[in-house]
Amino acid sequence: MMPMAAALCRRGHNVIILIPPYDNPADSGQQWERDGVRVVNMRLPRIAGGSYTILSLAWQLARSARRLQPDVLHVFKPVGPGALAMALLRRWMPHIPILLDNDDWEGAGGWLDVNPYSALQKRVLAWQERWCLQQARAVTCASHVLMTRTRLLAGDKPMALLPNGPDNTLREVVAQAELRRDALRDAFGWRNARVLIYAGTVPLNHDLDIAVRAIAAIRAGIPNLKWVIIATGDGLPSLRAAIQQAGLEPFVEHHGFMPHDHLVERLVAADIALYPYRDSNINQAKCSGKVIDYMACGKAMVVSDVGMNRHYLQDGISGLLTPPGNAEAFAVALTRLAHDPLWADSLGRAAQGRLWERFGWDGRVATLETLYRAARQEASALPSGR
């Protein structure tokens, strides 16, 4: 969301982001400006938890948007507080075109089946996803699979494929870290290590057991191997248990959440990035921010050939793609990169160049402007903006 908004600001638009900070409680009630974008966090209720928090955040989002009276409202995520706020705003501001961003398979067959929701919650969330997609004037989708799913649930309406891309400020942050790469490796204690890295969330039903099995298979053949994991998420206990069972704990370095600049330093200092997938609906629909960070930091990487990974990477040119769920193939790819650092470095540089050439927002934001313009024209042509 933020890189997209910043690119719009560079084109002369006034963009305000309203956030329900349930993932970042420390930001509750906070406001700031970054790259010309005003960011406003809603305030978490003092008695937080469950439905009350969701309802409170939805009410705040809707009231804030109504006060701002925007030309266009772009809602991100068709479930939860954003979906409820969208329902309110459809009534309060029928003349304002509302667009929706679809970046995950939320409903049946996706996260609805993975997360521990009650039967009632599942019915509500499935309804929210369908209703939001149907009611939006237009939809931006992060993957080809989500384009297909949107057509299935919402019929034929204006859509645009807009997968994730890097924030412009990331280029300079990476460049500064690259200048200090040797010093960073010394500071992290990695001078003589061959460092594999994973950075991101570990959900309950994660696929990192594939990496555990692959690294266990190759560890003896790669001197000074170290696996760095920078992650949060409900799946961390099961990941740690799998690592211990495989006898890898002495070779693993664990970190929790860290500021993005610090994460970039470790990615730049590492040798090979990894991200294994299974072939599931969620992974087919996924447009991973991890892959964006890996590419921006010039990392040679091994990822599974699922969903948008093939859209971002060219196998053997800017990364290595392996069959989904296949730990043996993942191990072979990791071994090839570990034993050929010059080739690995060339893959990382190719990935970095491809990211900025193909997925920078300044080169794609015109598509978004066209979608906004069409939605406004359609809304203004209808009676009462309906």
Whether 276 and 307 have beta carbons less than 8 Å apart is answered as no
pLDDT at 380: 77
The identity of residue 351, as a single letter, is: A
216-254 residues labelled b (16+ CB within 10 A) or e (exposed)? bbbbeebeebbbbbbbeeebbeebeebbeebebeebbbe
What is the CATH code of the structural domain delimited by 169-358? Answer: 3.40.50.2000
What is the model's pLDDT at position 385?
A: 46
CA distances from 76 to 11, 66, 230, 273, 309 (A): 21, 17, 26, 28, 22
As given in the structure block, the two tokens for residue 143 are: 């993957």
Token duo for residue 38 = 């005003």
Phi and psi torsions of 139, nearest 5°: -135, 130
pLDDT given at position 48:
63
CB 99 within 8 A of CB 138: yes
Rounded Cα distance between 4 and 27, Å, is 21
Scanning the chain, the segments in alpha helix (DSSP H) are 2-10, 50-68, 81-92, 111-114, 119-135, 144-154, 169-179, 181-188, 209-218, 236-245, 260-269, 281-285, 289-296, 309-312, 327-338, 341-358, 365-381
pLDDT tens for the chain, 386 residues long, are 999 999 999 999 999 999 999 878 889 999 999 999 999 999 999 876 678 899 999 999 999 999 999 999 999 999 999 999 999 999 999 999 999 999 999 998 999 988 888 898 899 999 999 999 999 999 999 999 999 999 999 998 999 999 999 999 999 999 999 999 999 999 999 999 999 999 999 998 899 999 999 999 999 999 899 999 999 999 999 999 999 999 999 999 999 999 999 999 999 999 999 999 999 999 999 999 999 999 999 999 999 999 999 999 999 999 999 999 999 999 999 999 999 999 999 999 999 999 999 999 999 999 999 999 999 988 777 665 45
User: Which pLDDT does position 382 carry in this prediction?
Assistant: 65
- Note whether 12 and 177 are within 8 A (CB): no
Q: Identify the bridge partners of residue 59 per DSSP, sorted by sequence position.
A: none
Distance CA 48, CA 51 (A): 9
Contact 385, 71 (CB under 8 A): no
pTM reported for the whole predicted model: 0.91
Please check whether the domain covering 2-165+361-385 is classified as CATH 3.10.350.10: no
- Whether residue 384 contacts residue 94, with contact meaning beta carbons closer than 8 Å, is answered with yes
Residue 313: partners with Cβ closer than 8 Å, 6 or more residues away: 291, 295, 301, 303, 319, 321, 351, 354
**Whole-Å CA distances, 258 to 20, 188, 288:** 21, 14, 18
In angstroms, the first-to-last Cα distance of the chain is: 27
- And the tokens for 120? 């009632």
Region at 29 (left for phi over 0; alpha for psi -120 to 50; beta for the rest): left
| Residue limits of CATH 3.40.50.2000 in the chain | 2-165+361-385, 169-358
| CA 96/CA 309 separation, integer angstroms | 35
